[in-house]
A = this chain, B = another copy of it.
Amino acid sequence: MVRVVDELDLDADGATLTAALTDIASVSGEEKPLADAIERVLTRLPHLAVDRFGNTLIARTSLGLPERVVLAGHIDTVPHAGNFPSSFDPERTRLTGCGTSDMKSGVAVQLRLASGLRAPSRDVTYVFYECEEVDVARNGLYRLSRSDPSLLGGDFAVLLEPSGGAVEGGCQGTLRATVTATGARAHTARSWMGRNAIHEAGAILELLRAWVARRPVVDGLEYHGGLNAVAISGGVAGNVVPDSCVVTVNYRFAPDRSAAEAEEYIRSLFSSWEVSVLDVAGGALPGLSAPAAAAFVAAVGGTPRAKLGWTDVARFAELGIPAVNYGPGIPETAHTSGEYVEVAAIAECESRLRAWLS
């Protein structure tokens, strides 16, 4: 039986709130129930002005302080993988479930700060946005950066993406493209009259299996690229040699390579086939030498490392706002069926951000 949770209690501890957020399903495109629940609690907080765009919410203090910071997080998840709803282990040290790390725990920290910090040391803009896990064109933060960029203005931004409690600088870019193998149809009873496009696609998969990732060091942080088939499809009928097979690949690239360079690389790598680029989002250089970033790193402590996932840090970089990733989730578990978050990490992240903003 699936638990039905539709009211959020911001006075509960961060882990309890994370569980409640996790148990309101919000696979990309289906965030409305969760956005509604978040809107209900935010509009009860008198020190915040709340705006809504689709399933994206912005809540802001307006205290006239000399600095404004942005705390942002996406509210969607990848599709469930037998890991919904969430569950605590018996000792309550760990919460398992789809989105616990990526990034309902970060959203829980945002909400706890939004509720508790009535008089922060800097004006704060909280952003809760939709569709981060899908096409860039649907991304709530991207859309807002195009329609109302002034709402995202600030001196520094923190994305509460899973970073294992470390400050993660920059982010890798991501590109998706289809690579199409072609053939010639024939009846399978005389398949030698045709050319099987699915068999031809074997060469694409061989190339993917043999591919070796670059691991460049950029501004002192080591990145690690990736190239994966994320979908494959082909076939006409059960007795027809198929004439087309489409492999969708996702290329992750370190921020020393631009979006244009990444596209050129993929077209060259798969030059034997028809390549169609579906979407591409450039990465962001670490930028930890910017004064605002350095001040934040000093306040929360720890040793910065490279962010391997693409995050909307790149979006803030485009707007000229220094930004880092800093959140309680464990990036290595994101998008896996065993996704979990450590309970202690949620409180730790909240406490450090609260200290920085108090």
Enumerate chain A interface residues (CB-CB to B < 8 A). 28, 78-79, 81, 102, 133-135, 172, 174, 176, 184-194, 196, 198-199, 201-202, 205-206, 208-209, 213, 224, 226-243, 245, 247-248, 250, 252, 278, 308-310, 331-332, 334-337
With a CB–CB cut-off of 8 A, which chain B residues contact A184? 336
Known: A133-B237, A188-B226, A308-B189. Contact between A209 and B205, CB under 8 A? no
Q: Do A235 and B234 contact each other (CB < 8 Å), given the known contacts A188-B250, A205-B199?
A: no
Main secondary structure of the interface of A (DSSP, over half): mixed
Partner of A198, one of B205, B241, B336: B205
Q: Which residues of B contact A81 (CB under 8 A)?
A: 185, 236, 243
Is B226 within 8 A of A245, CB to CB? no
Whole-angstrom distance from the CB of A166 to the nearest CB of chain B? 15
CA A79 to CA B134, docked complex, whole Å: 32
Distance between Cα atoms of A247 and B336 in the complex (Å): 23
Q: For A331, give the chain B residue with the smallest CB separation.
A: B190
Contact assessment for A335 and B78 in the assembled complex, using a CB-CB cutoff below 8 Å: no
What are 16 residue pairs bridging A and B, where the CB atoms are less than 8 Å apart in the complex?
A79-B237, A133-B239, A188-B228, A189-B331, A191-B228, A196-B229, A198-B205, A198-B208, A198-B228, A198-B231, A199-B228, A201-B205, A231-B234, A232-B235, A233-B235, A237-B335
CB distance B336 to A232 under 8 Å? no
Chain B residues near A308 (CB-CB < 8 A): 189-190
Query: How distant is A280 from chain B, measured CB to nearest CB, in Å?
Result: 12
* B-chain residues with CB within 8 Å of residue A278 when the two chains form the complex: 238
Contact A78 B237 (CB under 8 A): yes
Residue A336 contacts which of B193, B206, B331 (CB distance < 8 angstroms)? B193
Contacts of A227 in B (CB 8 A): 191
The 7 closest A-B pairs by CB, nearest first: A231-B235, A202-B205, A189-B309, A187-B335, A198-B229, A191-B226, A188-B250
| Contact of A208 (CB < 8 Å), options: B28, B186, B196, B239 | B196
User: Across the interface, which residues of B come within 8 angstroms of A172, CB to CB?
Assistant: 189
Given A78-B240, A236-B230, A245-B232; A224-B190 close (CB under 8 Å) = yes
Q: A228-B241, A237-B78, A331-B187 are in contact. Are A209 and B201 (CB under 8 A)?
A: no
B236 touches A188 (CB 8 A): no
Contact of A235 among B78, B208, B230, B336 (CB under 8 A): B230
With A and B bound together, what is the CA distance between A245 and B201 in angstroms?
A: 13
Once bound together, how far apart are the Cα atoms of A186 and B230, in whole Å? 11
Bound CA span A300–B240, Å? 31
Tell me the smallest distance from the CB of A339 to a CB of chain B, in Å: 9
- Cβ contact within 8 Å between A79 and B331: no
CA of A308 to CA of B196, assembled, Å: 18
CB nearest neighbor in B for A101: B187
How many Å from the CB of A265 to the closest CB on chain B?
A: 16
**In chain B, what residue has the closest Cβ to A332?**
B193
